[in-house]
Amino acid sequence: MKLSSLTIGGLVLSGTWPPKTTAQDDRAPVRPIRIDRAIAWALQDAGISLTTHVPATGATDIFDAHNKLVGTKPSYAFNEEVAYTIAHSAALAGVRSAAIIKSHGLAKAGNSVIDSLTLGNTAGFVAIVLDDPEGRHSDSVFDLKTFLQGTGIPFKISRRETIYNDVLESYLWSEELGIPVALLVNSEMVSLETTCELKRLRSPEAKFRRDPWLHVLCPPLAGYQHKVFQARLARMKWQEIARPQMPPIPKGLPPHWRSEAERFVPVFEVFQEMRPKISVACGDTGLSSLFAFPPFACIDTCSYYGGSLPMAIGFHLGGFDRPWAVTGDYAFLAAGHMGLIEALALGVPLKVLIMDNGHAMATGGQPIPPGVYEQLLNGWRPFVTQIRNPEDRSAIKDVLSRAIESSRIEIISVRFRS
């Protein structure tokens, strides 16, 4: 039968169903069941390894149904941007994942949504978004479709009769394009019934490979990465797009960044030495993430401001042991600290390396008000280690070594303030 359409902005794509990568079970067709359970079955049959969720009408029904089906205890997230990033990062790491959130929550996660399209994913990633077009369960009426068109994310509007297949289709489209896909589900539809014929998707044969041209989002690579994104959508051979030259760090940076980056060199020289013991290192917008470039190669992925912590959590849940998040103090205050809450709730032994220079140097040196950073760290005092002398390589190595061997959260703050 004909595959219902998938929309990318104003572009409608189509294909056939079932695709070649789908193997149908010999299980009998399912009798009429609630749509939340049908989606749960589809997630199981798609081989989803991770679902994230922030409580919301309709979305929670789906999330709880999936956890009940697979026999796991639900773990509810607190922030949609963090939840979306964790699920996307797990898919980037190489396991199929889902974020189950409502329309307003996806808008809250907008920064991560946009960056995830550029980063792409290794295995399928679908955001199952509960739409509330009449504002019956929300603080306001929100035009989700127009919002999604603005972000550029491929999306599909589900139907009651095809909801099970809609989920499976979305994962196959995500893996075909190599980018996230959104599936819109009307929240009023969740309690209704549907029928479906069960089938399983074959497991993706994909593994994350370090590629800073694709996975480190920053101004020197932005133009190239956007061309890759456009080529993916058009199903062109994006691999043939010429790659830009990476700037050597710190000499290749603009003068107003270079002097500050030079102060980080001793820390990253030690970090580089420890890299064989670090499975993955995630960064976010800021000078520290530019140490992904030669001669250091210290950072593997980089997205939005403060996104390094939830991204590292996602990689851990995707199979990478004891991940590292590398960030700056301003980014940590802006959004990164929210990842610590999820790491604690999920029991993830996250390692965080913070460059504490008291400013947002990448955007002009805007200062952090006195005492704000220190107050936030005080709340995590049992997990915090301070490095007061950023040029003491021996002390840095000792602290990093102990953190690598630790089985709990470790927060290392390196002070660059005079």
Q: CB–CB of 148/155 below 8 Å?
A: yes
Is residue 308 a part of any domain in this protein? Answer: yes
115 CB neighbour count, 10 Å cutoff: 21
313 CB contacts (<8 Å, ≥6 apart)? 86, 89, 323, 339, 342, 343, 346, 348, 350
pLDDT tens digits for 38-95?
999 999 999 999 999 999 999 999 999 999 999 999 999 999 999 999 999 999 999 9
pLDDT of 149 higher than 80: yes
Whether 271 and 129 share a structural domain: no
Whether 381 and 294 share a structural domain: yes
CATH assignment at residue 89: 3.40.50.970
Q: pTM of the full predicted structure?
A: 0.93
What domain count does the chain have?
A: 2
**Phi and psi at residue 343, to the nearest 5°:** -60, -40
| 278 alpha-carbon distance from chain centroid | 19
Q: CB–CB of 68/20 below 8 Å?
A: no
Is residue 116 a part of any domain in this protein? Answer: yes
For all residues of the chain together, what is the average pLDDT? 90
Whether 181 and 40 share a structural domain: yes
Boundary of a domain, candidates 201, 229, 264:
201
Measure Cα distances from 64 to 40, 54, 67 in Å: 9, 11, 5
Is residue 221 a part of any domain in this protein? Answer: no
Is residue 22 a part of any domain in this protein? Answer: yes
CA distance 314 to 343: 10
**DSSP per-residue letters across 318-364:** TT-SS-EEEEEHHHIIIIIHHHHHHHHHHT---EEEEEE-SEEGGGT
Least confident of 12-16, 126-130, 186-190: 12-16
pLDDT at 11: 38
Is residue 394 a part of any domain in this protein? Answer: yes
Q: Give me the amino acid identity at 393.
A: R
Structural domain for 390, as ranges:
247-415
**Phi and psi at residue 27, to the nearest 5°:** -70, 150
Is residue 238 a part of any domain in this protein? Answer: no
Is residue 74 a part of any domain in this protein? Answer: yes
Whether 189 and 300 share a structural domain: no
Average pLDDT over residues 342-347: 96
Is residue 228 a part of any domain in this protein? Answer: no
Whether 164 and 279 share a structural domain: no
Q: CB–CB of 280/270 below 8 Å?
A: no
